[in-house]
Structure 1
Amino acid sequence: MSGRTISSGPMNWRTALAGSQMLFVAFGALVLMPLLTGLDPSVALFTAGVGTLMFHFVTGLTMPIFLASSFVFIAPIIFSVQTWGVPATMGALLCAGVVYMMLGIAVKLRGPGFIHRILPPVVTGPVIMVIGLGLAPIAVHMAMGKTGDGAIELFPYQDAMIVSMVALVTTLLVAVFARGLFRLLPIMCGALAGYAVAFFMGMVDFQIVHDAPLLAVPAFVMPEFHWQAILFMIPVAIAPAIEHVGDVLAISNVTGKDYVKKPGLHRTLFGDGIATSMAAMFGGPPNTTYSEVTGAVMLTRSFNPVVMVWAAGFAIFLAFVAKFGILLQTIPAPVMGGILILLFGSIAAVGMNTMIKAKVDMAQQRNLVIVATVLVFGIGGMAIGDGALSLQGVSLCGIVAIILNLILPMPSQDADDLHVEQEVVDDLVQHGRD
């Protein structure tokens, strides 16, 4: 398939095969996110498929994009589920999707530069770093055979470390040394390697798979609306909104088309928002554009958006295969923990790279103040308020970063130049007096 685009015929078997390949690339991250947050992976498959279809309906089937579970929301979802329950969390995520749609409308009215003016890299960079670093204890606890909060030991420490390190090493080796399509599958390769070792060590129980029916309707959950959960979740939408803009620019570079102009960034953001809100209506995780799939598009030259329609169709079909969804839930915690050590660290690195690429000058006091405050608030566990009214974690960091960026004065080059010119004039005057 390399070197030419796939035929545009929707019933072409090559297009269908390319669609299955795209789902395969996205699959590891797609199902890992709901497994970590306690959501149903079958529901995640369904909402990823339907969300992708809705995105393409809004954007007019113009972009080779696949949408699925967003990792940025892992920590907020875990906290929200523990605090307010799954239905309230879904209601909050639905509102986060509405924020996406409002951003799309704002971009339509104010232009694509609107988001970057409100959310510059000095704001989004440290917030993304907090998301990754804040998740680090969860990954370490799971790698050591415990629950995410470290309260319960699920597997013996030695067995868990063997499995988690096999998964971690496999993931990083594939990510660094693999070539071609396999380079896009580090998560899946790591999961398979760790799962195989866990199976031979007696850590996998297939009885629940045997007892499950072959086909069944996924365990959908209807949302409920609690304002505390909504206020907690809405600021989390900042990071994936910026990530979305980056993904749109990336796929534009791959295909050689300017998707910021057509279908327009306002439509892609709006489509992402609809996909996220729709997912929450069924109990699924929020959707985001997948960079892994963008990489696969670049390798295979599958520029035809119909390929993603096929991928969405396959995802919806798998959602109703009950035994498959239950099989995913047999993956032991150490397997996921080993992968997440690399994955969560990568999220933090993305935040750092966001500032590096934008050449954020940390010698400027305003930038140093914003980054330092956000990092310590997020990693240190700062909380403002009590009980249901408290703000903490990513939501607090997002609000603090935005407020600091708005109230702290920008360094003015013109003012600096004027100051230098005044010094020169003063020197000349003094020289004249002398």
Structure 2
Amino acid sequence: MYSFSLLLPYFGALSDRFNSRNGKRIPFVFLGSLLTCFGLVLLPYATSHKLFWLFNLGLELVLFAMSISRAPAIALVPDLTLKPLRSKANAIINLMGAVGAILTLIALALLVDKSDQPDYTDLFLTVGLILLVSFAILRWKIDEKKMAIPVQNEEEETRGTGEPDKEVNISLFFLLVSIILWFMAYNGITTAFSRYAIAVWEMDVGQVARSLMLATIAAIITYIPSGFLGTKIGRRKAILLGICLFSTTYLLGIILTTFSALVYLSFAIMGVGWAFINVNSLPMIVEMSHVSDVGKYTGMYYTASMAAQFVTPILSGFLMEVLGFGALFPYTLLFSILSLLTMILVRHGDSS
């Protein structure tokens, strides 16, 4: 899965240079959606007929197709959104992603039977149908070429008034490093907390689930306010505040020796901090780009975040094996503090 993340900047940059009567992003979204649907049809067929090679082919096709459409689809938002509004727009993207995850859980409950060998055919076909309907709505409601004109005009007016490209690139470097570091911290917790909590704090499965659920709910509730906060005080300050908040959770994890209600509170704080960071970081990346390379910069953001999500379960798991479960929260706090230090060095990409 994560190897395909390396293709995200490529397809993002390819969409930057693409031009058609339907726009430069929508053709990539269409191709990616179509290939994803085809792969989703192959998966249940291969499973029911026990064709491992076909299942593997279908899975690879789905992941490849998603890499085609992801960066162009997300880049479509800044293409059509004036710069001061991009944090709010990204808040809506994150909220819709959370809604999609909830709908997926509902679909799993309704469409997959509870037998020892459940049939996923209805689930995959439904997801494919939803994907096609979503693209149809997108194509119906969005005239990419027409709606992008005001943003392009704004970009052309301000293009020559910014800092030298070298200084912007330095900020871009430190922001990408920050993204890797805070994803190393956050995903270290989300992937290993259940083992830690059961082994060290003697929590039961329900308490673990409630802790992680509280973090998710807190993030969802905070997505939209995070966009307004980034617009009001600046994206950089909102992100720094978010890092401080979720660092509090990691610090409490070191201090607490047994389970208490503070665990729930700390995970709610982590969710709020994560929303502040997640909503405002992509707009900062895009702010450093020009209208001609928004897709490439969007792909760079997702490559950095997915690379961290690949590395951190392996690294944190190794350290917990060698040093014991007690290494988890110091590990996450270390990467969180490092992300704070590198984020302080970011000087560009804030709200216009």
Report the TM range for the smaller structure's normalisation: under 0.3
TM-score by length of 1: 0.23
In terms of Rg, which structure is larger?
1
Give the number of the structure whose residues are more often helix, by fraction.
2
Identify which of structures 1 and 2 has the higher relative contact order when contacts are C-alpha pairs closer than 8 Å and 6+ apart: 1
